[in-house]
Amino acid sequence: MNTVAPSTVYRRPADLVTNGTAPGARAQLLSEINGRSTYALVLARDDEVATALMDFASSHHIAAAHFTAIGALRGVKLAWYDLERKAYKIISVDGQVEALSLLGDVGLANGKPAIHCHMTVGLEDGTVRGGHLLEATASPTLEIMITVEPGVLKKQFDACSGLTLLRPGS
């Protein structure tokens, strides 16, 4: 049975780094229209989701994109941002789950791709958990549709929130 482990563990945004591998991830260009490219990025069993997204964004030199995904996962760690603490509260979800919705964007922070991703997962009893994606492992697959835009989205550190946020037009 899937359960949500009780947690009072917090991590600061600067401490959130990808820490996995995604050797089975495969991308296919689906279309290119007016400078916009759409890709299917399909993860294989044991590929780490955040790592696959970051690897793809880095290798394709992405400056602006958005993505969605569905599939199945295990080893999911989500987070809820506590604005007062300026830290993420970790939400661990044990067992096999369905990725019901994964949404995110890519912009540039300090000249490098920065990914922001939220996810909802479905447990075997039909309950749902959601939050900011920290870690998740494809089990058996995750299908990600990525649209790369021709422009640039810049992200900057915001001292008030403690987060790196999109700053359109900057």
Q: Consecutive sets of 10 residues in the chain, 170 residues long: mean pLDDT of each? A: 62 81 97 98 98 97 98 97 95 97 97 96 98 97 98 95 89
What pTM was computed for the model?
A: 0.91
**DSSP-derived 3-state class of residue 148:** strand
Rounded-to-integer distance, Cα 87 and Cα 11, Å: 5
Q: Give the pLDDT of residue 18.
A: 78
Whole-number Å distance between alpha carbons of 82 and 160: 13
- Structural domain boundaries, residue 13: 4-166
* Whether 107 contacts 12, CB under 8 Å: no
Q: For the domain that residue 56 is a member of, what is the CATH number?
A: 3.30.1330.80
pLDDT at 17: 76
Q: For the chain, what's the residue count?
A: 170
Q: Is the CB of residue 132 less than 8 Å from the CB of residue 88?
A: yes
Total domains in the chain come to: 1
pLDDT of res. 3: 52
Asked whether the beta carbons of 40 and 55 are under 8 A apart, the reply is: no
- Per DSSP (E only), the strands in the chain are 4-5, 10-11, 26-33, 36-43, 65-82, 87-93, 97-109, 112-122, 128-148, 154-158, 163-166
